[in-house]
Amino acid sequence: MKLIIDTDPGIDDAMAIAYAAAAPEIELIGLTTVFGNTHVHQSSRNARFLLDKLGLDLPVAEGAAVALGADTHSPSEHVHGPEGFGDLTDIPEIGRNHALPAAEFLVDMARTHKKKLVVCAVGPLTNIANAIRLDPEFAGNLGRLVIMGGAVYCPGNITNHAEANIYHDAIAAEEVFATPPDTVLVGLDVTLKTLYETADFESLAMRSPDMGSFLRDISRFYLKFYKDVGGLEGCGLHDSTAVIACSHGAMFDMVETGLRVVTEGDQKGATQPDPERPTVRVCRDVDGAGVVQLFTDRVASLP
Ligand code: RIB
Ligand code: CA
């Protein structure tokens, strides 16, 4: 399976990219970057740093700096740290971005690879909405869109109603769900059932001295946020769970429903079932322990 991850790295994004690099059934063909956990230029810098650390020479196409209709963005520094990788700062600038902006790169790759391409969006959906606006055939060309986002049958995390990726660009998400490709939504309904704890990171660091230790080191900041704010003994494997859903759908219980996104007011970013909308598959449950084990075993195989 050919995969592009649309990402705002971000600590759990870094874990998902490492998983994709280690998964034998995934051919990662590139990354597209978006604002969210960081400013988009930092997302791109972090993506290129990570690919270099993984020994992968892949394109990074930079995308949206702000949400549709917005002028500015305030990164989630209190969650992912000042440069998106926890306490790590002064992340080196390695290589350069791809010549094409993210939306054009996504349209181009979908035209080239057609139904063989899966896009896994693990940040705000601005690049995906822009690709749909740019090419009416994009949605039909794409094999599948797997989204980390939403909280359909559970509370949100950035507000009680909304999950962060959807909240950060509710207009983009509403446009995507109005005319969705073949889509799977991997929301908080399942990603809070795949918590990754300190002991899991320590075990990973023992088995993967370079990448495992890096992920452990940058996740300390993230784990502290989850404990201090969420009262949780682990962090959500949000983005890795979405990447795993790209190839291991049988680990998830899914329901089919149309979705609508609230775009303003105190419920902004809420993802609500709507039978009038084209159906997407929404993950309602997951083999959480199985996902955590699969993630660990795959990433532990890295140097
Ligand atoms: O709500 C979790 C999502 O928001 C994850 O993708 C995390 O990286 C942040 O972007
Ligand atoms: Ca993310």
For 231-261, write each residue's pLDDT tens digit. Answer: 999 999 999 999 999 999 999 999 999 999 9
CA neighbor of 266 nearest in space, from 190, 158, 185: 158
pLDDT at 230 over 90: no
In terms of DSSP H, where are the helices of the chain?
A: 11-22, 40-53, 77-80, 102-113, 126-134, 138-141, 164-168, 170-178, 188-191, 198-207, 211-230, 238-247, 288-299
pLDDT at 271 over 90: yes
Q: Quote the number of domains for the chain.
A: 1
Q: Which residue has the tokens 């080196």?
A: 92
Model pLDDT, residue 228: 93
Structural domain harbouring 291: 2-299
Average pLDDT value for residue range 205-223: 97
pLDDT at 76 over 90: no
For 106-121, write each residue's pLDDT tens digit. Answer: 999 999 999 999 999 9
The one catalytic residue in 8, 12, 169, 239 is 8
pLDDT at 60 over 90: yes
Give the chain's end-to-end CA distance (angstroms, integer): 23
Q: How confident is the model at residue 5 (pLDDT cuts 50, 70, 90)?
A: very high
CATH number at residue 57: 3.90.245.10
Mean confidence (pLDDT) of the chain: 97
In the reported structure, the alpha carbon of residue 163 is separated from the centroid of ligand 2 by a whole-number distance in angstroms of 11
Q: Name all residues whose Cβ lies below 6 A of ligand 1.
A: 8, 10, 12-13, 36-37, 122-123, 148, 157, 163-165, 238-239
For 275-299, write each residue's pLDDT tens digit. Answer: 999 999 999 999 999 999 999 999 9
